[in-house]
Every structure is written in structure tokens, then in C-alpha cells.
Amino acid sequence: MSDSKGTDAGKAPAKTTKYDAVIVGAGFAGMYMLHKLRGMGLNAHVFEAGSDVGGTWFWNRYPGARVDIESQEYSFSFSKDLEEEWQWTERYAPQGELLDYANHIADRFDLRRDISFNTRVESARYDDQSGLWRIMTDQGETIEARYCVMATGCLSAAKTPDIPGAGNFKGETLSTATWPDDTDLTGKRVGIIGTGSSGIQTITTIAPQVEELYVFQRTPNYSVPAHNRPLDPSVREDWLANREDYRQQQRESGIGIVALEAGEDLALEQSEEDRQREFERRWAKGGFCVGAPYADTGVDPAANKLLADFVAGKIRGIVKDPHTADLLIPKTYPFGTKRLVVDTGYFEVYNQDNVHLIDLNETPIETITETGLRTSERDYEFDTLIYAIGFDAMTGALDRIDIRGRDGLKLKDKWAAGPLTYLGLTVSGFPNMFMITGPGSPSVLSNMIVSIEQHVDWIADCIHDMGERQLTVVEATPEAEAEWVAHVNEIADTTLYPQANSWYLGANVPGKPRVFMPYVGGVGVYREVCDEVAANGYKGFTLSRAPAEAS
Ligand code: FAD
Ligand code: N01
């Protein structure tokens, strides 16, 4: 159906460019989607707001940014050659190496020729008659495409500071989510707001360089040791030798990580001695496996408390000042119900004289000032202010696009009380639009690369099958969507997750509906559901031809 190409959007005068599929976003999801659709002979094109590929790893260049899943597991499996030629250097790859990996993929599969960079998609409207999406960019171009794939990222819409006086500060202001390359904090006085994963990685890395570091903490986070180190060649050899088996394990697992070693026994049924031994073994191994020793810690408050107490003991053992240690121990939510942080000496930095922890519960921020920040207790002065305050997660990037489906229905209105999706892949009323790792899928509760691959493959198969049947419109039914949303909520409620004011629930964005967004059923179970839907003739979808093509 394509009749013209426009790889250099923005330079051309207003015109309509046609593609079979438009993909929004050139992170790992958008890149693989492009590769896959191209391989099927489709004319697909990507629009990316940034100036290059990599998504998360392109934007988040703050000091210490690195993956929280072992490198070989956080990598694509779709190409054996890619897997064999790429060499990770550390157990947990740093941001720069992850960005190199993204660039390597773009080069190796010659992706850039079908990506328009520095181009933000502002609106996407579905036309009922033609069954096509009309997409508009901030470069003034209009695009028509049969399929629109939102690869916009779950953690790509950074929050803007909602703190009184934000903007007053006359020194250097930085955000972890849009960190510039040429920053040197050596010898500076720095204030940082936020102690999630981004804050913790930044704090740990800059603490030895800066003169003074003021950490403004509202809620402490559970953090476990990464035990990061240069990647042992034997790990790579073992992974490549058993690649098929490991990849299969990932796909069938709970969160897509082989190293998780998800325990199947119940904590409450173990002796105190056995439990401590297992907790210690996992702490020594490091990473997310610390959070999965037993099957009941995520669902039973008593079992959860055993693990939480163990980790609290570790924090007390590391941090010398008992009051500071106490402030660093989470007390308001169960262990693991916010994304666990995997750190490299985080708690240790509080033993340094130049690092100061300020508890915002005790002394809240009154205002940002020209020279720093004022709490209810005193003024703090610094040269650089860092915001590590997180994202409008899962729905934020989609909300920032004016998406209108059948009969002009706005996605934002449809989702006013929380996201409604079928399988986290599609939305009823928005035919031919797919989301990669959307709300209602395992997404951010999983190894994202595993989930991205599964979604891309499923979407590509669906588009292929539509072509085979000479059909042009695929749309989730309202009934299937309602049933899926109820199921997602029901199983979330069997866990302790909803007890934390986390971004999984939208609790970090004022006014955002409180709905648990990701699917907790596990990537293996979820994959089976998606495969069954496809095998049963796309159960829960209507497949048709657009009215303009029906005769
Ligand atoms: P992204 O990488 O977010 O890419 C989306 C792209 O879409 C962005 O480049 C954005 O600019 C673009 N975009 C969005 N809206 C528009 C628009 N309207 N027009 C044009 N372009 C648009 N996950 C893990 O599993 N393990 C980890 O260790 C891990 N670490 C993380 C660390 C950080 C700092 C963050 C923020 C997230 C992390 N994640 C991690 C989650 C991470 O987002 C995913 O692993 C993965 O990189 C997501 O890829 P993606 O392509 O889906 O989205
Ligand atoms: O964001 P967050 P993040 N005043 O929302 C605080 C992934 N990731 O960017 O909890 C004061 O977790 C807020 O406090 P509170 C990972 O999935 C992975 O750190 O709202 N404080 C919190 O402490 C992660 O979960 C890695 O009370 C304010 C912090 O800011 C996700 O991205 C690395 C505030 C925000 O924490 C998001 O992590 C980085 C205010 N007004 C990110 N507003 C890896 O390691 C917010 N805060 C792989």
C-alpha cells in the first residue's frame, strides 16, 4: 500500500506519507518491531523524539546508571548471531554499554534508514472508513498507516517537579531522566531529591566525588547488593552453550529471569535456621534473587516480614549511625512491593562524613530557594540540584499523545479511571493500535527484554495472520477487555503489591487513578494466554475489513 517514503520528516513541506505500519519510539521495543515487520516485507517506519536509538539508555545517562538484571539475561534472544557476537563486560552492564548495544543493533540490522529522529508524535487518529491511522508529528508531517504500534516506553515520561519554588534555583539543575553528557560534579555541593533506583544509583556513584551531598528522602527503598564485577568468561561460555535452554526458562518463568531461582517452598514452614541460611545465601549471590527465596513472601504479610526484618538487619549492620540506619529502613510498605533496587554499595555511603540524609517526613520541603532548598527545619545551600523523582509510568507517554480511536474516542478519556486494555496489547475502540509492554501485561514486573520480544513477536504474527486472511481491521471486543481488566485486578489483589504507594499503582503522580497496572500472573502464564488467544482465531478480537474496502 505504500506509495511514498519520508525518512527525513521535518524538512519536507506538509504532505501525507503512507506506511503499512508506524512505530512510535526507537528503544529496544521499537527497534525490534521495525526489524520484525521489515522482515515480513512491510513498509514500516519509526518516529523517535530523541536524536538516536536506545530509549531508556539514551536518555538516562546519570552517573551509575546500570541494569538490574544480569547482562546476558537483559539482551535479545531473537538472533543467535547477535547473541554470539556481543560481549558484555560486566555482570550488570552500565548505561554506556547498553547504549552501545542499542547502537550495535541499529547498525547490524541497518535500522536507522527507517527511523525519523528528533520527531515527536503528537497525535494519532483512527479513521473508521478507511481503517487507517493518521499520525501527526511535531515536524508538521502527516502520516497514514494501517497499523500503529506504540513502543513509547513504560518509563519514558519523566515527572516534572511538583515542589514549591521549583524553578527558583539559580545553580545547576539536573534530572536523572535527561542527564547531559558533559557534567562534572567533582568538588561540588549537591542536593538530590528522590531515593528510588535512579536516586540510589546516582547517590552511590557521586558520593565519593562531591564535596557535600544532601540526600532528601521522603520514602526509603529496599535495596539489595548487586555484587557487580567484570563478567567472568565462564558465565558467557555457559550461557552460549546452554542458550536455548536458558531462553526457554526465561520465557516460561515468573519474571523472565533465570538467576531469580524463585523459591517454591513456604517461608513460614521453614525452621529459623534454614530460613536464615537461605536468606544469607541469596544476599551473598546478590540481585533480585534476594527477593524470591520463598513462594509466600509476596503474598503473606507474616512471611514478608521475615524477609523485611532480615534486610533491615543488613542495613543496620552496614550503616554505622543507628539513627541514619533507621531512617533508611522502609516501614510503610511490604518488602518487594516497590521495584527492588540492586545497588553497589549504597548503604555504605552513609558512613561518609560528606553525605547527609534528610528525612522529609520529619522536616518537609517548604520551598526550593535561589541557593538551595528550605525544609521546615533549615536552609540547605548547594551548587547543583538533582531531581531523581521518577516517571508518570506506563500510561504517561501514551497520555502525552492525542490518541483518538473509533468515533473520535480519546484514549485519555477512556482511561480516565485507569488503563483498560485487552492483554496489555490492545484497547477496545482503538483498532489496529498495539502497545508494547502496555498496562495489563507483565511489563515492568519482568525482565523487560523478554516481555518486549514476546509482544513484538505476537503483534507481528497478528499482522501477518491478518494479511493472510485479507483482513484489515483487528479490534479487541469490550467484553474481552472488561474480562481481562477484572482478571488483572483480581490477581493483583491476591498479592501484597497494592499495599505500597508505588508507581505501579500510579500513586506517585498526583491525581492519577490508583489502579495496579502491570499483570502479576507471570510471563510464562501470560505468554500461554496470548498464544491461546491467537491459536483460537484471535479470541476476544473482531477481525474484519474496513468499510471503505468491504465491497
Ligand atoms: P524506552 O526505552 O523507554 O523507549 C521509548 C522511546 O519512545 C523513547 O526513546 C522515547 O523518546 C520515545 N517516545 C515516547 N513517546 C514518543 C512520542 N510521542 N514520539 C516519539 N517518540 C516517543 N528494565 C529492566 O527490565 N531491567 C532494568 O535493569 C531496567 N533498568 C532501567 C533503568 C532506568 C533508568 C529506567 C528509566 C528504566 C529501566 N528499565 C529496566 C525499564 C526500561 O525502560 C526497559 O527495560 C526498556 O529499555 C524499555 O524499552 P522500550 O523500547 O519499551 O521503551
Ligand atoms: O523513580 P521512583 P526512579 N518530594 O519513582 C521521590 C526503573 N529504574 O526513576 O517514594 C520528595 O522509583 C520519591 O519519593 P516517594 C525501575 O523500574 C531502574 O528512581 O514518592 N520526593 C522516590 O523516592 C524504577 O522503579 C534502574 O515518597 C519525591 C523518588 O523520588 C523506575 O525506573 C534505575 C517527590 C522517585 O523514585 C523508576 O525509578 C533507575 C517530591 N515531590 C530506574 N517526588 C535500575 O537499576 C518524587 N519523589 C535498573
Instruction: Show the cell assigned to 387.
Output: 531531581
Helix/strand/coil percentages in the chain, nearest 5: 35, 20, 45
In 3-state terms, what secondary structure has residue 215? strand
Residue 175, Cα to own-chain centre: how many angstroms?
Answer: 17
CB 124 within 8 A of CB 134: yes
**Would you state the pLDDT for residue 108?**
98
User: E strands within 76-206?
Assistant: 115-116, 121-127, 132-137, 142-150, 172-175, 189-193
The CA-based dihedral angle spanning residues 30, 36, 39, 43, taken in that order and rounded to the nearest 10 degrees: -40
User: Is residue 87 exposed (0-12), middle (13-18) or buried (19+ Cβ within 10 Å)?
Assistant: exposed
DSSP per-residue string spanning 118-130: S--EEEEEEETTT
CB 316 within 8 A of CB 322: yes
What is the dihedral sign for C-alpha 525, 444, 447, 300?
A: negative
Q: What does the pLDDT look like over 447-486, one tens digit per residue?
A: 999 999 999 999 999 999 999 999 999 999 999 999 999 9
**Would you state the pLDDT for residue 4?**
38
187 C-alpha to ligand 2 centroid (Å): 25
CB within 6 Å of ligand 1 — which residues?
24-30, 47-50, 55-56, 58, 60, 65, 67-69, 74, 120-121, 151-156, 198, 397, 401, 436-437, 447-448, 452
Place of cell 539489595: 224
Distances (CA, A) of 486 to 423, 503, 516: 11, 20, 11
Residue nearest to atom 47 of ligand 1 (CA): 56
29 C-alpha to ligand 2 centroid (Å): 22
**Would you state the pLDDT for residue 549?**
86
The span from the CA of 536 to the CA of 211, in Å, is 63
38 C-alpha to ligand 2 centroid (Å): 36
The span from the CA of 259 to the CA of 525, in Å, is 19
Residue nearest to atom 6 of ligand 2 (CA): 194
Distance between the two ends of the chain, CA-based, in angstroms? 18
Ligand 2: nearest atom to the Cα of 199 = 19
**Would you state the pLDDT for residue 14?**
62
Residue 298 is which amino acid?
Answer: G
Angle, alpha carbons 71-72-74 (nearest 5°): 65
DSSP 160: P
388 lines ligand 2 (CB under 6 A): yes
What are the counts of helices (DSSP H) followed by strands (DSSP E) for the chain? 15, 20
Q: What does the pLDDT look like over 87-96, one tens digit per residue?
A: 999 999 999 9
Residue 285, Cα to own-chain centre: how many angstroms?
Answer: 24
The span from the CA of 89 to the CA of 344, in Å, is 16
- Smallest Cα–Cα separation from 452: which of 30, 102, 50? 30
- The pTM of this model reads 0.96
Ligand 1: nearest atom to the Cα of 65 = 34
**Would you state the pLDDT for residue 319?**
98
The CA-based dihedral angle spanning residues 66, 68, 73, 79, taken in that order and rounded to the nearest 10 degrees: -40
Residues of the chain with pLDDT under 50: 1-12
447 contact partners, CB below 8 Å, separation of at least 6: 69, 73, 74, 250, 255, 256, 257, 523
- Smallest Cα–Cα separation from 205: which of 185, 225, 222? 185
| Least distant ligand from the CA of 30 | 1
